[in-house]
């Protein structure tokens, strides 16, 4: 269940192994992900050099450059572009060595000139691997995204203005990627608790002052998780991606019936927008 901190940690774990490396071979065993992997995906990627990996929300954008000399005739006419990957619910991208045996749900392999193997495993297949042609990173999935929560563009003013006239609950509002990216179910609940805001409060009737608290809370919550994720980076090559949420010490998530750490009131569970929400009925208004 990767959210922004997990995706960013994945990016940082991958980067030193693939940056500046040429893709020698791509193997697709299962194309049926969130959307089908394009038929020419293998040809598009092979022979390119990954110059960087950029994160946008929970998407990773692999900058794949193709030299103009067109040494490989098979790929003549093909251009540079970005490989877009998303981990979905259950996806992992691991750094392995070439000969690692294939396991269940190992859908895609990307092998580099330095013998590094990046392997995408995704049991639930909610993840994605797509291609964005050209140098401009223009894609319908990216064009609609809200600001990065850790950027200066993410402000209380932005949330306040975007929420006017909206009747959705504040929790569903901040989980909407068009409003702000990277805030999933767990971090939404944790952030609202930290800000003292009831998850059912109407987004459109939430004051600027509350949004100021919420912006701070989201930043702090994500940064705490990123810090915890940093500790898993050291042995990233060995990790199987199952380390979960960095042993995040959740204040409310998954703690239904347990005592609130602030006031002792039992944490409550409810369903909002087909998602479970945990909150403290006394601390959050």
- List 22, 34, 75, 213, residue binding DNA (CB under 7 A): 34
- List 51, 90, 155, 243, residue binding DNA (CB under 7 A): 90
- List 22, 55, 105, 213, residue binding DNA (CB under 7 A): 105
**How far is the C-alpha of 237 from the C-alpha of 234, rounded, in Å?**
8
Give which of 66, 59, 79 is closest to 8, Cα–Cα: 59
- List 8, 47, 58, 246, residue binding DNA (CB under 7 A): 58
Residue 199, Cβ density class (10 Å: 0-12 exposed, 13-18 middle, ≥19 buried): buried
- The terminus-to-terminus CA distance of the chain in angstroms comes to 28
**How far is the C-alpha of 1 from the C-alpha of 212, rounded, in Å?**
27
Contacts of 36 (CB under 8 A, 6+ apart): none
**How far is the C-alpha of 266 from the C-alpha of 259, rounded, in Å?**
4
Phi-psi region at 38: left, alpha or beta (left = phi > 0; alpha = psi -120 to 50): beta
Contact flag: residue 20 with DNA (CB under 7 A): no
Find the part of the chain contacting DNA (CB under 7 A) among 21-29, 66-74, 86-94, 207-215. 86-94
- List 81, 88, 146, 229, residue binding DNA (CB under 7 A): 88
Specify the residue, 101 or 165, whose C-beta has the smaller distance to DNA: 165
Tokens 């995706």 — which residue? 7
Contact flag: residue 276 with DNA (CB under 7 A): yes
Specify the residue, 95 or 188, whose C-beta has the smaller distance to DNA: 188
Q: Which residues are catalytic?
A: 2-3, 58, 275
Specify the residue, 126 or 131, whose C-beta has the smaller distance to DNA: 126
Contact flag: residue 155 with DNA (CB under 7 A): no
The CA radius of gyration of the chain, in Å to the nearest whole number, is 21
Contact flag: residue 186 with DNA (CB under 7 A): yes
Find the part of the chain contacting DNA (CB under 7 A) among 17-25, 64-72, 123-131, 217-225. 123-131
* Shortest Å distance, C-beta 126 to DNA: 4
Contact flag: residue 3 with DNA (CB under 7 A): yes
- CA distances to 33, 179, 181 from 20, in Å: 27, 34, 28
Specify the residue, 3 or 111, whose C-beta has the smaller distance to DNA: 3
- List 57, 147, 149, 241, residue binding DNA (CB under 7 A): 57
Find the part of the chain contacting DNA (CB under 7 A) among 44-52, 72-80, 175-183, 230-238. 175-183
Question: Which stretches of 34-99 are DSSP H helices?
Answer: 41-45
Contacts of 237 (CB under 8 A, 6+ apart): 13, 17, 95, 96
* Shortest Å distance, C-beta 278 to DNA: 9
Contact flag: residue 38 with DNA (CB under 7 A): no
Helix (H) or strand (E) holding 27: strand 21-28
Residues making contact with DNA (CB under 7 A):
1, 3, 32, 34, 57-58, 86, 88-90, 104-105, 123-126, 141, 144, 165-168, 175, 177-178, 184-186, 204, 273-276
């Amino acid at each position: 269940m990767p959210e922004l901190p997990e995706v960013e940690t994945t990016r940082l774990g991958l980067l030193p192994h693939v940056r500046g490396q040429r893709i020698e071979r791509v193997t697709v065993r299962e194309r049926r992900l969130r959307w089908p992997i394009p038929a020419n995906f293998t040809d598009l990627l092979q022979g390119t050099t990954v110059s960087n990996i950029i994160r946008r929300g929970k998407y990773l954008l692999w900058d794949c450059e193709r030299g103009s000399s067109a040494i490989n005739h098979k790929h003549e006419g093909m251009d540079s572009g970005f490989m877009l990957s998303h981990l979905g619910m259950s996806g992992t991208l691991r750094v392995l060595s070439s000969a690692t045996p294939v396991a269940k749900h190992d859908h895609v392999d990307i092998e580099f000139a330095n013998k590094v193997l990046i392997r995408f495993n995704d049991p639930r297949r909610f993840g994605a691997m797509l291609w964005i042609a050209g140098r401009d990173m223009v894609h319908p999935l990216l064009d609609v995204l809200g600001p990065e929560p850790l950027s200066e563009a993410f402000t209380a003013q932005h949330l306040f203005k975007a929420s006017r006239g909206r009747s959705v609950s504040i929790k569903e509002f901040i989980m909407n990627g068009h409003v702000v990216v990277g805030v999933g179910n767990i971090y939404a609940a944790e952030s609202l608790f930290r800000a003292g805001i009831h998850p059912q409060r109407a987004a459109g009737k939430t004051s600027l002052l509350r949004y100021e608290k919420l912006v701070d809370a989201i930043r702090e919550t994500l940064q705490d998780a990123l810090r915890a994720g940093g500790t898993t980076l050291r042995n990233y090559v060995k990790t199987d991606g199952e380390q979960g949420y960095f042993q995040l010490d959740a204040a409310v998530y998954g703690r239904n019936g347990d005592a609130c750490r602030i006031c002792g009131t039992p944490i409550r569970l409810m369903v909002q927008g087909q998602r479970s929400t945990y909150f403290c009925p006394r601390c959050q208004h």
